[in-house]
Amino acid sequence: MPEPAGGLSIERLTSLEPGVLAELVERGRSALGESALDEWLLPVIAGYGYLFVGRIGGGIAGSAEVIRCASDDDLYLEGFYILPAHQGRGLGRMLLSGVMERLAAMGYRRLLATLDPVNAAARQLYAGAGFRELDQLPDHYGPGRDRLLLAAALAGEEEMT
């Protein structure tokens, strides 16, 4: 049984130095494979969306990539991962709840995400964070790549006081 992890610090990156960009590309691929964002999209998320990293001892242990939706004040969680070496120790739960708190404090009301129905870890993580199923998206990323559309309420600042 892996040890629970402590000391996760969450940081929003608004621009990416070349070394950090290369590190994020490599780490994203190691956790998400071909669906990871690359060097062409990560700077776009950092500059015009919300790019968060979770660090342990200074090194990047995971990341959350968030964009604003065209409709309403919704946000969409485009990518989320914890590096394989750090998985199963509660870090995903810590990073996701920390990111959701920050987005709520900015005034956003709802976070959308898609889930591969066979991804048991992500299913458990999202359920624990309050995500509920909104819709089924068959062949969403091409033939056989089905997804579920999920949404979670973000508690607004006014609701937290």
Binding residues (CB under 6 A) for ligand COA: these are: 31-32, 79-82, 87-93, 119-122, 124-125, 128
- State the Cα–Cα distance between residues 19 and 47, nearest whole angstrom: 17
- Nearer to ligand COA by C-beta: 18 or 144? 144
Nearest to 108 by CA among 47, 155, 45: 155
Nearest residue (beta carbon) to ligand COA: 92
- Nearer to ligand COA by C-beta: 87 or 156? 87
Burial (Cβ within 10 Å: 0-12, 13-18, ≥19) of residue 32: middle
Could you tell me the smallest distance in angstroms from the CB atom of residue 155 to ligand COA?
Answer: 19
Could you tell me the smallest distance in angstroms from the CB atom of residue 16 to ligand COA?
Answer: 20
- Nearer to ligand COA by C-beta: 5 or 153? 5
Number of Cβ atoms within 10 Å of the Cβ of 85 = 10
